[in-house]
A and B are shown apart, each in its own frame.
Chain A
Amino acid sequence: MRDAFGQPQRIVVLGGTSELALAVLHAMALDRVQCIVLAGRNEDALARAQAALLGAGAAAVQIVHLEATAPERASEVIAACVEAAGGQVDLVLVAVGMLGSQGDFDDDPAATAEAITVNLTWPAAALAALRPRLVAQGYGRVVVFSSVAGVRVRRANATYGATKAGLDGFALGYAESVRDAGVVVQVVRPGFVATKMTTGLTPPPMSTTPEVVAKIVVEAMAGTDLVVYAPRVLRPVFSIFKLLPQAVWRKLPG
C-alpha cells in the first residue's frame, strides 16, 4: 500500500535497465519499499541494477524477463511482474524504449517496425494487460516515460518521436479510462537527457541529466499532475514550439 505521502511499498518497472527509471528509484525513499520488480532484457544490466537497489536499502528486488519485440506476450510479462510484486502494485514505471539513429531507420522498414513495436506497441499492450488489475485493486499509480520528441516530431528523430507521440497519446487516454478507479497516470516528457541512449549525440540547449529528471518525477509523484515536463521550463518552451510554422521549426538547431 502507499502511505499518506504517496510513498509506495511495491513497485514494478517495465524497462528495468532504463537509466531514467533507475534514477527515479534511487531518488525515492528506498528503505520504505518492500519489493521492486525489474522487468527487462539485458540480464547483466538487470543484475547490476538489482545489486545497486539492494545496496541503497530496498528490501527485495525481483527480476522478470521482458522481450519488448514480442507484444503478444506482454500479458504474460505483466502477470509475472504482478505476482512477483505480491499481487498488489502501488507504482508502475513504464520505461521500455530504444532511441536508435534516424539514418538507420529512414530506408529500413524492418528497423522502423521494430522501433514502433518496442516503443509503442509493447508498452501499450502491457498497459492494456495491467488495466483490469489496476481497476480491480482500486488504487495505484502509473508513470509513463514519454519524451518532448513526441510533442512535435522533427526530422532528426522522426521515428523515435513518432513512437513517443503515439505512446503519449495512448497514455493520456488511458489515464482517463482508469481515473474513476482511483488510479493515477502521469506522463513524463523529458527533454534531451544525457544517458547511454544518447552517447555520441551532441546535447542541445536545455539538455538535462537522469538525476534532474528523477527529482522532478519524484516530486510529481506526490501529486496527480497528468503531464510532467523535465526540466520544467520545457512546458512553456514546447507550448511555443508547437505553434511555430514548419519552415521555422525545420531550421531550429539540435
Chain B
Amino acid sequence: MAEPIPRRLSGWGRTQSVRAEVVAPTTAAEVASWLSDPKIHGGVIARGLGRSYGDPAQVAGGLVLDLVHLNHLGPIGEGGSITVGGGASLDALISSVLPKGYFTPVSPGTRQVSIGGAIAADIHGKNHHREGSFCSHVTSMTLATPTGIMTVSPTSNPELFWATAGGMGLTGVVLEATISLLEVPSGLVTVDTDRFEDLDALMAEMVGGDDRYRYSVAWVDCMAPGARLGRSVLTRGDHAPSGLTDGSVGPLPKPAKLAVPFQAPSGLLNRASITAFNEAFYRRAPKHKVGELQRLSSFFHPLDGVANWNLLYGNRGFLQYQFVVPDHAAETVRLVIDHLSGAKIPGFLAVLKRFGPGDPGPLSFPMAGWTLAIDVPIGPPSLPRLLDRLDDLVAEAGGRIYLAKDARLRPELVEVMYPELDRFRKVKAEVDPNGVLTSDLARRLNLVEGTR
C-alpha cells in the first residue's frame, strides 16, 4: 500500500491553498481501508482532476485520496452502457468510445473531469434543458463508504444514490459507475449561431427556440454598460448526421496544444484586457449563421486548447460565480448582470443557459430555470460584498449557488438554497456515522452537522 505524502492543494481557482496528505490508492480495497483507518483524525476526501473551483476536493490537515489509478474503462454493452472507474477522465472515456459511435451523455466545459467528480457535482452540460444532468444517466455506482463497499442504483438504494449525486464526495468514494452513453452518428456538431444586442432578445429566443436543439448555450458580456448590457452570442446545435461526414466519426479530440508555462503576474487579467477580449469575441461572432460544422472539441471544450489557463489569473487566483434561478425569476438574471456591470467587476463572458427539471439529488445544483456562470479575478475590494448581495437576490428568487464552483458563500444560506439539506445529512450520518468524509468546503459551509 502506498504511503501518503504531504502536498499543497487548491482548486482550479487557486484561492485556498492548504496542505494535506495525499495518497493514490490502486485498488478498491485500499480505498476502503483508508476510510476505516482509525489513525486518521483530520478527515478524508476523494479528489478527481481538481477542476472544481474552490475547496471541495481537499481537506486541510487530512487525507486526500487521489483517484487517478482507478481509471479502468469497461467494454460498451447493450444499449451503450459502460462501466468505468471513478478516477477515469471524461477525456479518456470520450477518446475510447467516440470511434465506436458513442459520446458522453453530459459534457461539461472541459474534458478534464473525472467520473467521480462528475457524479459528486452532478454536472450539467449544454443539453440539460432536454436531457438533465450527469447522474440521470448513471444506472448504478459502487461506493466505498466508512461503513463498507456498496453498489447503489436509483432503484436499489435511491436515498444513497441521490445523496451522492451532487453530494460533493461526502457520502462515499465512487469506485466505479455504470453510465448510459449517447449514440452519435458522427464526431461533428452542426451549429447555429445568433448574436443579440441585449438580454431581452436573447432570453426570448432561448425560451422560444431552445427546445428545437439538443445543445444550447449563450455567452453574455457582463461588462458592456448601458444599452449594450447583456449583448450576447447564442450557439445551439446537435450531432451532425453521418451523411454530412465521410461516414467515420471524424477527428478525435486532441491534447492541448498550448500550455501556460508559469503563473502570470496578478493583474494581467484586468478590466482593460478583459473588456478588449469580450469586445473581440462579440465582434467576431456572426450575426446569424446556420448549419456550421464544428468538431466536438471546439463546440464543447474550447478552453481545453490551452492547458493550465487558470495560471493566467496570477497568484491571487479567481473564482466562478454560478447560480440558477427558477423560470419565473428571469428578472434576477438581469439584476445580477446589472450589478456586475454597475460595479465594474472585470469578468469574462458569462455563460447563460436554460436548465430543465432537476433530479432528486438533495444537493444537486440544477433546477428548471436559468443558470449564469462568470469567472472573476480576486482583487476588486468591492467583490466580496457584491457577491453577498447577489447571493441574497438569488436566494430570494428561490435559486441557488453551485457548490462545485463556490469558494465564498455564507454558510447560513446553504439550507435556504438547498432546502433538502437535512435529507442529505441524514443519509450521510447513516453511511458515515463518525464523520470521516469531510472537506474544506464541508467545513466552511457547515454542510455536515457535527463537522467543524
Contact = CB atoms under 8 A, between A and B. Distances in A.
B20 A1 contact: no
Interface stretch (B9-17, B245-253, B267-275): B9-17
Interface in B399-434: 407-408, 410-411
B60 A182 contact: yes
Contacts of B385: 29
Contacts of A182: 8, 17-19, 60
A76 interface: no
B61 A5 contact: no
Given A1-B55, A3-B444, A136 B42 contact: yes
- Chain A interface, DSSP helix/strand/loop, else mixed: loop
A2 B452 CA distance: 13
B19 A139 contact: yes
Contact of B408 (A4, A87, A88, A180): A4
A137 B234 CA distance: 46
A7 B15 CA distance: 11
Contacts of A203: none
B116 interface: no
A4 B378 contact: yes
Nearest to A7: B384
Contacts of A87: 452
A59 to B, nearest CB: 9
B60 A139 contact: yes
A89 to B, nearest CB: 11
Given A4-B407, A5-B383, A138 B443 contact: no
Given A87-B452, A138-B61, A3 B18 contact: no
A152 interface: no
Interface in A68-87: 86-87
Contact of A29 (B55, B378, B384, B444): B384
A182 B452 CA distance: 19
A138 B18 contact: yes
Interface residues on B, range: 20 to 34
A120 to B, nearest CB: 29
A56 interface: no
B443 A1 contact: yes
Contacts of B408: 3-5, 7
A34 B443 CA distance: 12
A181 B378 contact: no
A2 B319 CA distance: 14
B54 interface: yes
Contacts of B55: 1
Interface in B1-55: 8, 13, 15-20, 42, 54-55
B125 interface: no
Given A137-B60, A138-B60, A180 B19 contact: yes
Contacts of B16: 1-4, 139
Question: Which 5 pairs between the two chains have the least Cβ-Cβ distance?
Answer: A4-B407, A1-B444, A4-B15, A138-B61, A138-B19
12 contacts: A1-B440, A1-B443, A1-B444, A2-B444, A4-B317, A7-B408, A86-B452, A88-B443, A136-B61, A139-B18, A139-B19, A182-B19
Interface of B: 8, 13, 15-20, 42, 54-55, 60-62, 316-317, 319, 378, 383-385, 407-408, 410-411, 440, 443-444, 452
